[in-house]
Structure 1
Amino acid sequence: MLDGTGVVDDRSAEDTGSPVAELSLATAVELGHAWLQALFDRAGIRALFIKGPALHRHGLRPHRTSGDIDVLVDPAAFDELCDAVIGAGWRERGSTVLGRHMGKHSRTFLHDRWPCDIDVHRFYPGMLALPEVTFEHLWSRRTLMDFAHRDCVVPDRTGSFLILALHSMRGTDRQPRHEEELANLLRLELTPTERQDISDLARLTGSAETLAPVLSALGISAGDDASAVDPAQVRAWRERVDARSGAYFWISAFRRASIRERSQIVRAAVWPSAADLRLALPHVGTDLRSMTLARAARWGRGIRSLPRAVRAIRAHRRDR
């Protein structure tokens, strides 16, 4: 529930003497934006709400209910914000073996009485400029949107365009909506001013190279990234986008790992623990039959995705 300042009151029903209404997902996302903005304001933390309902309001994708609240925070305040969220009664989602080895650009938080998650991002994948540089460029062009009668800070339409395009490019074969969202972006009618704005921000955030296929399809010339971008990061991005899912992530984790860690990765890939399986597939039952079937289904998906992963790795290895 909200208190008189527009902040969610985390006290239990027993504490307040009143019943607690079960929040719908859409309501939780709306109220969650307002609650987090109040948290930012009290702590003096700069953060932007990315993706989510703002994308529909910017006219970048059709309306749909988000399953979480995504926040891009000033990198210097990343740990401070995560601690504040935990201090308010949220708990961090655990990481699978694969997640720990692939590195984390964000931390996810859950709450027993909220149906949506909070994802706090240190940086945004595909924006290859230094995280603090990217954040400053997005922050400098921020705008306000009303959520639950509170002004919340979001990127402007151009910043949101870049974030959605990068998010859609990173989609997997198991998430066809990402392809639909990217197709919607490519059908947008952009003014010459908007095209120039997209080009400029792509260069400043180090995403001209990672977004090259999208910019080219829109007839936008971005030139070279304005910031120094590591070519290896560009190759890794393109490899990831081409491979899309499945076996690629395990191969990538294996390549990055030390000799000692590689046996753990192989074991987790072949026979994930019950804890890892529940984190990756929370809908799967906890009985032996359900978990065995889930593991078998993972093998099938992994085997089917292996040829594409190998082709992507080989193709981009030749680019070096």
Structure 2
Amino acid sequence: MPTDASTDATVLLRLDEADELAAAWVCALAERRGIRALLIKGPALHLHGLREERVSADVDLLVEPARFEELCEAIVGSGWRERPSLLISKLTTVHSKTYLRDGWPCDLDVHSFYPGFLADPADVFEALWRHRWVLSLAHRDCLALDKTAGALVLALHSLRGATIQPRHLDELEQLVRAPFTDDERAELAALARETGCVATLESVLPRLGVEVEPTAAERAAPELRYWRERVTAGSHGSYFWMLALRKSRWRDRPRLLWRAFWPTRRDLLVARPEAVDTIRGRTRARLARWGRGIRSAPAGARAVWTHRRGVSP
């Protein structure tokens, strides 16, 4: 049926379509401003033979750290908005910001650095930038990670969630079964050492046939302890509150403990949008949250206790 030219048309994007268009768009946005950015994960991993093809719920972009905020401001200025975050996320997630937009089924996840790389974020980006690879998306050339760099990022990503999420464990197993040449193994060893992920991937690199020793700086990095705790704890929420409390000032700890015990209405509804927004509904949601916290607390405490002596000498 003919429609008036002024009538707004609604186009429903499939997730795979949205992923490709959003990736091409954000890469073009960065390029126009002269900001270096690299797509991480996504379809490049399948094209490199590192994991099976699948559609992601978000587009991951690594940005040169010095211009991270500039690109984030440009994304907001283009009509995207930052995803509402919880207090615990603000306290423990400092490496990325997530953006969403009405009508788009995917998110933009923009990173200033990637967890698990223990070298200086600027140095890590320069090393990964040398391993950039051209990927065509939505009829546009974008910059992604090559096979070597992609394998390290996938290993770090999968290892963090492998303890409680079968998909991440499965992707890790796919990675270790992927074929690598001797030259590629040598590149993996060199890049892992340069970016400081030899110790964080100590359980993965040998399975890839990569024998390499971490540098003294990597062994001494305080972040190594937190990484090992995070991997041991999985994604259990109790651990993140333990981490936030440990990093906070003493005078702030009573407030944090209260917020862990009794989240604000906003935090509760952001975390559990299915909760009924009434006094009774919010109380039920909080009680359910206590149950999950009690069940996950042993895993968090065990992670802290296991790595209490810190990093290796």
TM over 0.5: yes
Q: Greater CA deviation, 206-215 or 259-268? A: 259-268
- What is the CA-CA distance between 1:100 and the residue it aligns to? 1.8
Q: Which residue does the alignment assign to 1:216?
A: 206
CA apart distance, 1:227: 6.1
CA distance in 2: counterparts of 1:230 and 1:16, whole angstroms: 63
Residue of structure 2 equivalent to 1:257: 248
Q: How far does residue 173 in structure 1 lie from its aligned partner after superposition?
A: 5.1
The percent identity for this pair of structures is 49
Correspondent of 1:312 among 290, 303, 306: 303
**8 Å contact from structure 2 (residues 218, 224) kept in 1:** no
Per the TM alignment, residue 310 of structure 1 is displaced from its structure 2 partner at its CA by 1.5
SS, match of residue 115 in structure 2? coil
Q: Is the 8 A contact 2:163 2:169 kept in 1?
A: no
1:11 corresponding residue in structure 2 = none
Asked whether the 8 Å contact 1:30–1:147 carries over to 2, the reply is: yes
The yes-or-no answer on 1:274 pairing with 2:265 is: yes
Unaligned segments of structure 1, at least 5 residues? 1-13
1:163 & 1:27 partners in 2: Cα distance?
A: 24
Contact 1:204 1:227 in 2 (8 A): no
TM-score, length-scaled by structure 1: 0.89
Distance 1:118 1:284 in 2: 26
Distance 1:225 1:280 in 2: 40
Instruction: Judge conservation of contact 2:163–2:231 (CA < 8 Å) in 1.
Output: no
Match among 120, 142, 155 for residue 152 of structure 1: 142
Match of 2:286 in 1: 295
Structure 1 residue 83: Cα displacement:
0.6
- Partners of 1:45 and 1:199 in 2: how far apart? 28
Q: How has the CA–CA distance of structure 1 residues 16 and 171 changed in structure 2, closer, same or farther, with 3 Å as cutoff?
A: farther
In the aligned structure 1, how far is the partner of 2:130 from the partner of 2:6? 41
Residue 81 of structure 2 corresponds to residue 111 of structure 1? no
Q: Distance in 2 between matches of 1:152 and 1:317?
A: 43
Trace 1:127-276 onto structure 2 (pairs within 5 A).
127-171=117-161, 174-225=164-215, 230-244=220-234, 245-276=236-267
Instruction: Specify the code of the residue in structure 2 equivalent to 1:303.
Output: I
Residues 296, 181 of structure 1: CA spacing in aligned structure 2 closer, same or farther, 3 A cutoff? Answer: farther
User: What TM-score, normalized to structure 2?
Assistant: 0.91
In structure 2, the CA distance between the partners of 1:288 and 1:202, relative to structure 1 (3 Å rule), is: same
Q: Which moved more, 1:131-140 or 1:244-253?
A: 244-253
1:16–1:224 distance in 2 versus 1, CA, 3 Å? farther
Letter in 2 for 1:147: L
What is the one-letter code of the residue matched to 1:163? V
Q: Quick check: 1:50–1:71 contact (8 Å CA) kept in 2?
A: yes
SS of the aligned residue for 1:248 comes to helix
Paired residue secondary structure (2:290)? helix
2:27 to 30, 37, 51: 37
